[in-house]
Structure formats: structure tokens, C-alpha cells
């Protein structure tokens, strides 16, 4: 993966691949090395896309409830998948 960081409206986040389903460290944390998005490298296809969208929504909208993030993430990922967005082999 070439992306190492990404700037959201709530701050800059490190992009990490870890063996957890997904995690977004909230921007309330003032230490920049503790802000990151982690997604399991074993995820593939639509599940991986949905997890990236879900965790990105947490970073972009830290006050949004988990239920709204889950619903929005699933809807956005479903649309992107239907439009043909896929991960290229690196």
C-alpha cells in the first residue's frame, strides 16, 4: 500500500494494515502518532472497501454515531462496488 497518511477535516491520520477488522483512532487524541486508521490486510473485495469507507467516515465525522457510520459506510461501499470500483493488484 502506497498511502501512508491521509488528511481528513478532523486531522491527518496514519493509514495502517493490522490484523483487526477496522479501527479509527479518534482525533480527540492530541498525539499525532496515535491517530490512525487500521484495516485488516486479510480483508478483500467489497468487505475491504466497506471497512475503508466505514473507518474513513469515523475520521471525517468523529461525532457521527456508530449506527449512522455503519449505515452510511455500507450504502457508499455498495454504490462504489456497483459502479465497478475495485482494488488494483500492487
For residue range 34-53, list pLDDT tens digits in order. Answer: 578 889 989 999 999 999 99
- Boundaries of domain holding 19: 5-82
Residue 89 within a domain: no
- Band (pLDDT 50/70/90 cuts) for residue 32 is low
Specify if 12 maps to a domain: yes
- Judged against a pLDDT cut of 90, whether residue 1 lies above it is answered with no
Structural domain contains residue 34 = yes
Is the pLDDT reported for residue 33 higher than 70?
Answer: no
The predicted-structure confidence for 50-85, as pLDDT tens digits, reads as follows 999 999 999 999 999 999 999 999 999 999 999 999
Q: For the chain, what is the domain count?
A: 1
The reply to whether 87 falls in a domain is no
Whether 39 maps to a domain, the answer reads yes
Of residues 84 and 14, the one with the higher pLDDT is: 84
**Residue bearing cell 488528511:** 7
Q: Is residue 35 part of a domain?
A: yes
Q: 1, 81, 74: which is closest to 45 by C-alpha?
A: 81
Query: Do the domain assignments include residue 73?
Result: yes
> Is residue 90 included in any domain, yes or no?
no
3-state secondary structure of 6: strand
Amino acid at each position: 500500500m502506497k498511502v501512508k497518511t491521509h488528511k481528513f477535516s478532523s486531522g491527518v491520520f496514519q493509514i495502517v494494515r493490522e490484523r483487526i477488522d477496522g479501527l479509527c483512532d479518534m482525533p480527540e487524541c492530541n498525539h499525532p502518532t496515535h491517530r490512525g486508521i487500521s484495516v485488516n490486510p486479510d480483508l478483500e473485495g467489497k468487505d475491504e472497501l466497506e471497512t475503508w469507507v466505514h473507518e474513513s467516515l469515523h475520521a471525517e465525522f468523529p461525532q457521527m454515531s456508530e449506527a449512522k457510520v455503519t449505515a452510511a459506510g455500507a450504502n457508499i461501499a455498495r454504490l462504489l462496488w456497483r459502479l465497478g470500483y475495485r482494488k488494483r493488484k500492487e
